[in-house]
Amino acid sequence: MNEFNYVRPSDAAAALREGMQPDGDFLAGGTTLIDLMKLNVKRPARLVDINRLQGLSNIMLGNTSISIGALARMSQVADDAGIKASAPALSQSLWRAASAQIRNMASIGGNVMQRTRCVYFRDPGAYPNCNKRTPGSGCAALEGINRNHAVLGTSDACIAIYPGDFAVALVAFDAQLRIQGQVERSVPVDAFYKLPGDTPDIEHDLAHGEMIIGVEVPISAALRRSHYLKVRDRASYEFAAASAAVGLELEADGRTIRDVRIALGGVATKPWRARSVEQALIGKEMTEPVVRQAAALAVEGARWREHNRFKVDLAPKVVARALMTVGGIA
Amino acid sequence: MPQPHPIQLRINGLERNLTLDPRTSLLDALREHAHLPGSKKGCDHGQCGACTVHVDGRRVLGCLTLAVQANGSTVTTIEGLAAADGTLHAVQQAFIEHDAFQCGYCTPGQIMSAVACIHEGHAGSDDEIREYMSGNICRCGAYPHIVSAIREAAFRLAKEASL
């Protein structure tokens, strides 16, 4: 690990001043950053520890939205009774991720900033070429072992998967991130994540020195009737092979779909909203054939490599099963 | 060179003052500087759980926590779990009775994680124990006995609490 200086500012204003320094990097739970520092992927010269800043770890359930402070821990949000009742998919996406220990450490803001698990990205010693680490240097995953790489949102420069779960649920339910820099601003989570394109090194709409201070999730009927299904190589403590955050609102007849939200994880370079599937379902009756036909649209435009074609088959099945579960026809 | 940091930790009930390079993980601080080698280094990347300790009452990974981050905190390790008179914690006792280990390397982490798992209320069924203990890997494959040990310890602790 490289040498670095460590500071623990006492308030948010001081933390922002420190974070704006050219060599400053924010440290929250550290479950991504410390790991990547040990791997020599990240080499910050100055760590600004924001863990003990006051007032940034509250969970507030309003009438129209849920507000979660960026320093709330994953376990705290997953176990929150209000979140479980009004936003099941949010709770499930958190407790089905990582391990109990990591969920006690990792903050919500840091979770959103979690980096890819691409083995080539994570191993600069063996694979010096990586367009995400060093733009223009090349990509070992394209012709490498790419079973755990993306089939949606890829480019010729990068096929690294966005590995998280919580942000998949956030994208499905139109959540916004609150970001503090020189000014405070909000950005939809969907727009916060960038497609790799020719610049896979730029993953987020976040300037140097800006800090995520919270998440706002609008409350909807679909959010109240929501579910996060995660399919993976082992039963727990594993990243998704494919996952789906879904929410459903039916008409008074109990059969016709009024509103539906769908986002996919484990298959794309960013949390992947499946709007074409949503459009195909609205106004339709909730039956298995209808759901399966619509779910096939989730992988429109997919591009696979040597080892990851199974995701193209798996993802629509995960979407369909998640929808049938919330629809009560599974 | 970065400045060494003076760090104060309350470890297993004792105040400890250490001066550490900020790169030092909490795990290395405990093992190499506080001379408490019970917490184990497995993967050192947050994937195995062998380094699980309690910081301010919550189970965390010592390998992914910087010691400076924990400055001012209360830390409990496997060495601090038994009573002062040597009576083992209910989870330690249950691990022995159920033969819940083979080589024993992951055991300190398993036990610290299990104590927290029960305390959190996540030991209500075998499935729940498996889910909430999934961050602790056992390469000997002692999982069935680990689950039964935790089930029994949870039962005993609940019984004691209700007396």
DSSP string, A63-128: SSEEEEETTSBHHHHHT-HHHHHH-HHHHHHHHTSS-HHHHHH-BHHHHHTPPP--TTTT-TTT--
Query: Closest partner residue to B68 among A6, A98, A100, by Cβ?
Result: A6
Q: How far apart are CA B19 and CA A323, in angstroms?
A: 55
Query: pLDDT band at residue B163, thresholds of 50, 70 and 90?
Result: confident
Longest dimension (CA), chain A: 64
A contact test, residue of B26, B40, B59, B143 with most A CBs within 10 A = B59
Q: Which residues is A73 bridged to in the sheet?
A: A107
| Contact in structure between A273 and A238 (CB atoms under 8 Å) | no
Q: What's the Cα-to-Cα distance from A315 to each of A40, A122, A153, A279, B33, rounded to whole Å?
A: 33, 25, 14, 18, 49
Structure tokens at A288: 């298995």
Q: How many CA atoms lie within 13 Å of A130's alpha carbon, on the beta-carbon side?
A: 20
Distance between CA A89 and CA B53 in Å, rounded? 30
Residues of chain B contacting residue A104, judged by C-beta atoms under 8 Å apart = 58-60
Q: Which residue of A has its CA nearest to B5?
A: A6
Set of chain B residues whose Cβ sits within 8 Å of the Cβ of A232? none
In this structure, what token pair is assigned to residue B105? 């390397």
Residue A118 φ/ψ, nearest 5 degrees:
-50, 120
Cβ(A163)–Cβ(A90) under 8 Å? no
Chain B residues with CB under 8 Å of A30 CB are 64-66, 69
pLDDT value of position B148: 98
Q: Can you give the pLDDT at residue B1?
A: 62
Q: What sections of chain A are H helices per DSSP? A: 12-20, 33-38, 74-78, 81-86, 88-95, 100-105, 108-112, 166-172, 189-192, 221-224, 275-281, 288-295, 310-327
- Would strands B5-11 and B74-76 be described as parallel, antiparallel, or unpaired? parallel
| Ramachandran area for residue B10 (φ above 0: left; ψ -120 to 50: alpha; else beta) | beta
Residue pair A240/A266 in contact by the 8 Å Cβ criterion: yes
CB A215 within 8 A of CB A207: no
Interface list for chain B against chain A, based on CB atoms closer than 8 Å: 1-3, 5, 21-23, 25, 44-46, 49, 52, 58-61, 64-66, 68-69, 71, 113, 116-117, 120, 122, 130-136
Under an 8 A CB cutoff, do A35 and B45 touch?
yes
Contacts of A35 in chain B (CB under 8 A): 45-46, 64
**Residue tagged 């009756």 (tokens):** A285
Kindly tell me if the per-residue pLDDT of B2 is higher than 80: no
Please name the residue of chain A whose CA is at the shortest distance from the CA of residue B21: A3
User: In this complex, do A8 and B3 lie within 8 Å of one another by their Cβ atoms?
Assistant: no
Q: How far is residue A161's CA from residue A115's CA, in Å, rounded to a whole number?
A: 9
Report residue B10 as tokens: 């309350």
A305 three-class SS? coil
pLDDT of residue A128: 96
On whether the CB atoms of residues B77 and B12 are closer than 8 A, the answer is: yes
C-alpha span between B128 and B118 (Å, rounded):
10
Check residue A308 and give its pLDDT.
Answer: 98
**pTM beyond 0.95, yes or no:** yes
ipTM > 0.85 for the complex: yes
Cα–Cα distances in angstroms (integers) from residue B158 to residues B118, B161, B163, in the given order = 9, 5, 9
A3 to B46: CB separation less than 8 angstroms, yes or no: no
**pLDDT one digit per residue (tens) for chain A, 330 residues:** 999 999 999 999 999 999 999 999 999 999 999 999 999 999 999 999 999 999 999 999 999 999 999 999 999 999 999 999 999 999 999 999 999 999 999 999 999 999 999 999 999 999 999 999 999 999 999 999 999 999 999 999 999 999 999 999 999 999 999 999 999 999 999 999 999 999 999 999 999 999 999 999 999 999 999 999 999 999 999 999 999 999 999 999 999 999 999 999 999 999 999 999 999 999 999 999 999 999 999 999 999 999 999 999 999 999 999 999 999 998
Q: Do A100 and B120 touch (CB under 8 A)?
A: yes
Strands A46-49 and A24-27: parallel
Each residue's pLDDT tens digit, B68-102: 999 999 999 999 999 999 999 999 999 999 999 99
| Span B98-155, pLDDT tens digits | 999 999 999 999 999 999 999 999 999 999 999 999 999 999 999 999 999 999 999 9
The two most distant CA atoms of chain B are separated, in Å, by 57
The kind and range of the H/E element at A258 are strand A257-265
